[in-house]
Amino acid sequence: MKVLIVEDNKELASGISDYLNGEKYICELAYDFEAAREKLLLFTYDCILLDIMLPDGNGLELLKVIRKENISSGVLIISAKDALDDKVNGLEGGADDYVTKPFHLPELHARLRAIYRRKKLEGSSNLITFNEIVLNTDTVEATVNNTLLDVTRKEFDLLLYFVVNKNRVLSKQSIAAHLWGDYTDSLANFDFVYQHVKNLRKKISAAQGIDYIETVYGLGYKFNTSKT
Amino acid sequence: MKLLNKVTIWFVGIVFLITPITMIISRTNIKRNLDQAEVERMREVNDRVARQLEAGEKPDRYTHGRPIAILPIQGPLPAEKESVVIDNFVSEDLGQKECRITVNSFYQVGDQAYEISSFNYVIKSEEIFKGMLSAVVWKVLLILLAVSLTARLLSKKVFKPFHRTMKAIHQFDLKQKQPIQLPPTSTKEFQELNSFIKKMTDKAMDDYAAVKEFSENASHELQTPLAVIRSKLELLSETNIDGTQAALIGDMQNAIEKLSHINRSLLLLTKLENQEYKAYETIKFCRVTKEVIAMYDDWLSMKEITLTTSLDKNIPLIIHPSLAEMLISNLMSNAIRHNHEKGMIRVELTRKDFCISNTGLPPEIPTHELFQRFKKSNQSNESIGLGLAIVKQICEVNGFLITYEYQNGWHLIRIVFEPGKKGDSIRSAKELETVTI
C-alpha cells in the first residue's frame, strides 16, 4: 500500500511512517500544503493521511483538490481539533474517516486498513484471513478452523484489531480506546481489556486455534504470528 | 426606585428643610426693620419736642393726641441720652398679646432736665409669621407640582439617549461578533457612558475571540506533542526492551492517557462555556439514552451491576446530539465507577426529568461540591474529576437544573429539563421514597 502522510510535525510524520513501514507500506511525507498538492497531482496513492491544520493552508482545502482532480485515494483525516464542525466538514468534504490527536498508531493503522479494504478492494475483501482464522467484516463472524466462534461484537473488534496489527505490541490503552472510544474516561478500562482478551483467547483455544495472543509484561498484548 | 423619583424626593426634602430656616430669617429681618423704623420715627418726634421746649414753645403741636410724655426730672442727665424699651405683654383689657416700643430721650433745656418718652404699638412677630406661612404653603405646593411635572416631561427627553443605550446593551450578544451600535447624544455624561460601553464591548469581543482562538490553539499545540510522545512510545515498545523498561513505558503510557483525557475535557469545558454547541433542532432524547446505556453493557456485566431502567418513549429535547450523548455517558460511567461490585443502578427518564441513581460509598465531601472541576470524593481515585463538571456545564448550557443527593446508600443525580414548571418538587419527594425502599 502506498500512503501519503500530510503532517506538518516532522516527528509525528516520521513516527507514523516508521510504524507503517513496518507493515511494508510505502510512505511519502509532505510537510505542507504545497508539497502535498504537488505530490497528489504527480503520483497516485492508495491512502492519504491528512492533517487539517497546515502551516500554509487548511487540509480541508486539500480535500477539494482531491475531489476536483478525481483522485480515488482513501482519505483519513488527522486533526487536533475534535470540534464537531471539523469532523462533519471533513467527512462531507470527501474524507473517509477521522482520527483525533493524540491517536494510537495501531488505531491509525486499523482505520487505514479499513479504508483500504472498503475503497481500494471495493469490499471484495470483506474476509480477512490469517492462517486458520477468518474474519468476515460484513457479517461480523469469526471462524477458526472453519468453526464459527461465538464472539461478542467487542471480541470480534478486538480480534480484528489484533490481526490487522499482528506482531505489534498493543498497549492496554490503545485496545481500550479502540473498543470503547476516546470518551470512556479511563473507567479502569484495563481490567476490562484483560477480561475481553482472556475470553477471546479461551474461545480461540476452544476451537482448536493457536493461541497467538501473548501478554507483553507491563505493556499489553501482542498477536505473535511465530507461535505454533 | 426610579432615578427620577429619587431626585424629586431629594429635591422636595431640601425644599422642606430650607423653607423653615428662610422663614425664620425673614421674619426676624422684617420685625427688626419695622422696629427700627418705628424707633427712628419716635426719636425724631422726641427731638422735635425737645427743640420746641428749648424754643419756649408749647410742645402741643407734637404732643397733642400722641402717646408722648414730657417729664422734668431732677438731677443731672443720665449718661445714656436715650433708651429703647421693647415690651411684649398681654394687655389686660384686650386680653391679647401686644408689643410696645418706648423710646425715652433725655434733654437739657436751660437749667431743667427733661425726659421725653414716646411709645407705640407695633406689629408682633407672630402676625408676620402667620402671613408668611400661608404664602410659604402656596410656594411649596407650586414648587412640588412644577418639579414633578417638569421632571417627568424633561426626563423623557433628557434620558432618551440613556434608554436607547440600555436597549442596545440588552440586545448585544458577544457571540454574534457585531460591534455594538449606540445612538449619538449631546449630553456629555451619556457621551462618556457610550464611549465607555463601546470600548468595553469591543474589548470583550476581542477577548472572547482571543479566548476562543487560544482554546483552539491550545488544543492543537498540546495534542500534537502528545501524539508525538504517544507514537514514539508505541514505537519504543516494539524494540528490544526488557521487563523493567516495559514497565516504565507502561507507566508513561498511562500518564499520557490521563493527560490527553484532561486536555480534551478542559477543551470541551471551554467550548461549552463559549457556547459553541448551540442546539437548533430537537432530538429524541429517549433514543440517545437507550443507545448510550447499551454501550455500557460490558462494564455492567463485569462489575456485576444490576441495571433497572424505566425510559418513557418519545421525549423530544432541544440539545446538541453530541452533548446529549456525553451527558448520559458521563453520568453512566460515573454511576458505574463509583459503584461497588454487585451494586445497582437505576435510570429513569420522563418528559420532565432524567434520574440516575446508584449504590456506592457515601461521598466524603458535600455532594454539590462534586460538580466543581477536579473535585473528587476520593482523591486517590483514578478518575480526573472532570466528568461531573462537564455534566453540570452541559446542563447549564441547555438550561437544565441538576441536583445531586445522597441518601441511605443511594447517589441520586436528577436533571430537570424545564426547571420552574410546577409539579417538580412533588416528583422529587416521590422519587426519594421509591429509592430508599
- pLDDT at res. B412: 93
Number of C-alpha atoms within 13 angstroms, CB side, residue A205? 10
Instruction: Indicate if B237 and B294 belong to the same structural domain.
Output: no
Instruction: Indicate if B430 and B286 belong to the same structural domain.
Output: yes
Question: Phi and psi (nearest 5°) for B347?
Answer: -120, 130
Instruction: Indicate if B428 and B291 belong to the same structural domain.
Output: yes
In a mutational test of the A interface, the residue from B221, B256, B292, B298 whose CB has the highest number of chain A CBs within 10 Å is B298
What nine digits make up the cell of B221? 499545540
- pLDDT at res. A119: 80
What nine digits make up the cell of B119? 411709645
Q: Which chain A residue's Cα is nearest to B259? A: A102
As a CATH number, domain A127-223 is: 1.10.10.10
pLDDT band at B75 (very low <50, low <70, confident <90, very high): confident
Is pLDDT at A221 greater than 90 in this prediction? yes
Q: Is residue B337 part of a domain?
A: yes
Are B373 and B391 in contact by the 8 Å Cβ rule? The answer is no
Find the domain containing B260 and state its range.
190-273
Q: Which chain A residue's Cα is nearest to B236? A: A169
Compute the C-alpha angle A218/A219/A224, nearest 5°.
Answer: 115
The DSSP element (H or E) to which A127 belongs, if any, is: strand A127-130
B238 and A196 in contact by Cβ < 8 A?
A: no
Residue-wise pLDDT tens digits, B332-357: 988 888 888 899 999 999 988 999 99
Instruction: Indicate if B99 and B31 belong to the same structural domain.
Output: yes
A173 and B322 in contact by Cβ < 8 A?
A: no
Provide the shortest C-alpha distance from residue A136 to chain B (in Å): 22
Report chain A residues whose CB lies below 8 A from the CB of B250.
Answer: 171, 218-220
Q: Is residue B252 part of a domain?
A: yes
Task: Identify the CATH number of the domain in which residue B219 sits.
Answer: 1.10.287
What nine digits make up the cell of B165? 443605550
Between B127 and A20, name the one with better pLDDT.
Answer: A20
Residues contacting residue B348 through CB under 8 Å, at least 6 positions apart: B309, B310, B311, B354, B355, B356, B431
Is pLDDT at B249 greater than 50 in this prediction? yes
Report chain B residues whose CB lies below 8 A from the CB of A185.
Answer: 261, 330, 333, 337, 383-384, 387
Q: Does A104 touch chain B (CB under 8 A)?
A: yes
A2-119 is classed in which CATH architecture?
Answer: 3-Layer(aba) Sandwich (3.40)
Q: Is residue B175 part of a domain?
A: no
User: ipTM for the complex?
Assistant: 0.87
Compute the C-alpha angle A83/A86/A91, nearest 5°.
Answer: 130
pLDDT band at B61 (very low <50, low <70, confident <90, very high): low
pLDDT band at A39 (very low <50, low <70, confident <90, very high): very high
Q: Is residue B173 part of a domain?
A: no
What count of CB pairs under 8 Å joins A to B?
Answer: 126
Q: Is B12 exposed, middle or buried (0-12, 13-18, 19+ CB in 10 A)?
A: middle
Distance CA A98, CA A116 (A): 14
- pLDDT at res. B186: 87
Is pLDDT at B107 greater than 50 in this prediction? yes
Residue-wise pLDDT tens digits, A76-124: 998 876 655 666 777 778 888 888 888 899 999 999 999 988 887 766 6
Q: Percentage of chain B with pLDDT > 90?
A: 16
Domain boundary among B149, B175, B200: B149
Instruction: Indicate if B254 and B289 belong to the same structural domain.
Output: no
Provide the shortest C-alpha distance from residue A83 to chain B (in Å): 9
In a mutational test of the A interface, the residue from B232, B241, B257 whose CB has the highest number of chain A CBs within 10 Å is B257
Report chain B residues whose CB lies below 8 A from the CB of A99.
Answer: none
Provide the shortest C-alpha distance from residue A124 to chain B (in Å): 30
Q: Does A224 touch chain B (CB under 8 A)?
A: no
Report chain B residues whose CB lies below 8 A from the CB of A182.
Answer: 264
Report chain A residues whose CB lies below 8 A from the CB of B224.
Answer: 9, 12, 80, 101-102
What nine digits make up the cell of A4? 501519503
Instruction: Indicate if B324 and B408 belong to the same structural domain.
Output: yes
- pLDDT at res. A185: 57
Are B404 and B427 in contact by the 8 Å Cβ rule? The answer is no
B235 and A18 in contact by Cβ < 8 A?
A: yes
Residue-wise pLDDT tens digits, A146-164: 889 898 888 999 999 999 9
Neighbours of B80 (CB within 10 A): 9
Per-residue 3-state assignment (H helix, E strand, C coil) for chain A: CEEEEECCCHHHHHHHHHHHHCCCCEEEEECCHHHHHHHHHHCCCCEEEEECEECCEEHHHHHHHHHHCCCCCEEEEEECCCCHHHHHHHHHCCCCEEEECCCCHHHHHHHHHHHHHHHCCCCCCCEEEECCEEEECCCCEEEECCEECCCCHHHHHHHHHHHHCCCCEEEHHHHHHHHHCHHHCCCCHHHHHHHHHHHHHHHHHHCCCCCCEEEECCCEEEECCCCC
Instruction: Indicate if B269 and B286 belong to the same structural domain.
Output: no
Average pLDDT over residues A198-224: 90
Provide the shortest C-alpha distance from residue B153 to chain A (in Å): 54
Residues contacting residue B127 through CB under 8 Å, at least 6 positions apart: none
What nine digits make up the cell of B14? 431640601
Neighbours of A62 (CB within 10 A): 24
Task: Identify the CATH number of the domain in which residue B325 sits.
Answer: 3.30.565.10
Are A117 and A163 in contact by the 8 Å Cβ rule? The answer is no
Are A167 and A223 in contact by the 8 Å Cβ rule? The answer is yes
A102 and B238 in contact by Cβ < 8 A?
A: no
Provide the shortest C-alpha distance from residue A115 to chain B (in Å): 21
Count the domains in chain B.
Answer: 3
Are A148 and A141 in contact by the 8 Å Cβ rule? The answer is yes
Show me where the domains of chain A are located: 2-119, 127-223
B37: left (phi over 0), alpha (psi -120 to 50) or beta: alpha
What nine digits make up the cell of B143? 414648587
Taking Cα atoms as reference points, which of B330, B344, B338, B343 lies closest to residue B402?
B330
Q: Is residue B33 part of a domain?
A: yes
Q: What is the side-by-side strand order in the sheet with A169-171?
A: A169-171, A220-223, A213-216
Average pLDDT over residues B406-424: 81
